A = this chain, B = another copy of it.
């Protein structure tokens, strides 16, 4: 690594928290190194649009080096962090070491299967570009295989899409898959009718979008149902196999034949949280998030900050803040400001989250917005959703193109990026077509 003569701030993770921390440090009297194992910032809230063929990966990803190339005190390092040695102020990378004076960890979360990691291959989660491309591949291949399947039961399983988890990601996935089947590809096939596809949303509590007020949850459920999504509340996943998911709903066990299951059931802190806990004695919550002090440091280590989804911050009203882009951005900015104050020998009061509201999109012209006293749904909420997302995208990387792509898709009902890429599709088509037969004969 290069020699650091001046004060050195290391940020781990280029998500919203890390990006905003780094941006806010661009005029600090310090060297800043942003470490990420990917070379781009990912606009995670729109990842579901890649997974459903609406946008291309490049539309929602900004190369980190391009974001920071003008700020000469900020370096980007593409590397994976393996260990933290707090007493030596040092990070261990996959192929080197990196010293820091102050460390900001913004490493985020990964999908959590609550101990059922055997479900990972049959029910992929949605956290990375590769996840999105894999989910897109499975959805599109299911329609392709259904077009060729003559057995009606197998065909129904191919045309059944189950999304586990009724939070914002699950709702958005269910809504866009419904739109894909009912609008974008409705005339594309000759043997099947894509509009007959079943989209099932599984939620463990008694309503979807649990963090929202009940009236907005009800509205979202109504809109999703109109789009043709079947919502199953109070339903727990018992098992997932290659062509079936088993749920327990109000003491009743149900089997659903489905070839495509997507996991939006929850997240947990990345493994670096555990490493940190074992090295510093910091406490993790049940989801593997690091419990932080009011100033986002960890106990006894005032030079280590945790920000974003990996932080469990419960000093505001006793409940931990949600894993949301808004929280991450505000925490990133706060820590940057605190460090700048410290460098001048000054202090900053505890972090305080300013809730600007939350938004979830359901489909074309449909969204819900919870902004304190103002609760909106339908077209006005949808307009706010578009406006907020475009504003952020442009702030990051001048991604005006996404607006143009959206407008184009909106007018034409097209999906620009409906590609099956990645692995050679044929082993999968064979699995799709042959494994049920095989099982039948067993």
Residues of A within 8 A of B (CB): 1-2, 37-40, 55-59, 61, 63, 65-66, 69-70, 72, 75-80, 94-96, 129-130, 133, 140, 144, 147-148, 185, 187-191, 398, 400-401, 404-405, 408, 412, 414-422, 425-426, 429-430, 433-434
Contact = CB atoms under 8 A, between A and B. Distances in A.
A417 to B, nearest CB: 3
A75 B190 contact: yes
A75 B148 CA distance: 11
Given A58-B416, A77-B148, 7 more contacts: A57-B419, A75-B190, A78-B144, A79-B148, A95-B430, A96-B148, A400-B408
A75 to B, nearest CB: 5
24 contacts: A1-B148, A39-B144, A39-B418, A55-B58, A56-B57, A57-B421, A58-B416, A61-B419, A63-B188, A63-B418, A65-B189, A77-B147, A78-B144, A78-B425, A94-B426, A94-B430, A95-B148, A95-B430, A95-B434, A129-B421, A130-B421, A398-B412, A401-B404, A401-B408
Contacts of A426: 37, 80, 94
A418 B66 contact: yes
A56 B419 CA distance: 11
B417 A58 contact: yes
A418 B95 CA distance: 23
B38 A420 contact: yes
Q: How many copies does the complex hold?
A: 2
Contacts of A185: 65-66
Contacts of A188: 63, 65-66, 69, 76
Between A56, A140, A191, A430, the greatest number of chain B beta carbons within 10 A of the residue's beta carbon is seen for A56
Contacts of A405: 401
A198 to B, nearest CB: 21
A150 to B, nearest CB: 9
Contacts of A421: 57, 129-130, 133
Contacts of A434: 95
Contact of A39 (B66, B130, B419): B419
A280 B131 CA distance: 45
A408 to B, nearest CB: 6
B2 A419 contact: no
Contacts of A72: 190
Nearest to A55: B58
A76 B148 CA distance: 11
Contacts of A398: 412
A256 to B, nearest CB: 25
A149 to B, nearest CB: 11
A420 B39 contact: yes
B130 A422 contact: yes
Contact of A419 (B37, B63, B75, B414): B63
Contact of A95 (B57, B78, B433): B433
A131 to B, nearest CB: 11
Nearest to A417: B58
B79 A429 contact: yes
Between A57, A78, A79, the greatest number of chain B beta carbons within 10 A of the residue's beta carbon is seen for A78
Contacts of A79: 148, 429
A348 to B, nearest CB: 29
Going nearest first, the 6 A-B pairs with the smallest beta carbon separation are: A58-B417, A65-B188, A56-B56, A56-B58, A69-B187, A63-B418
Contacts of A78: 144, 147, 420, 425, 429
A419 B144 contact: no
A76 B95 CA distance: 48
Contacts of A96: 148
A400 B418 CA distance: 17
A332 to B, nearest CB: 22
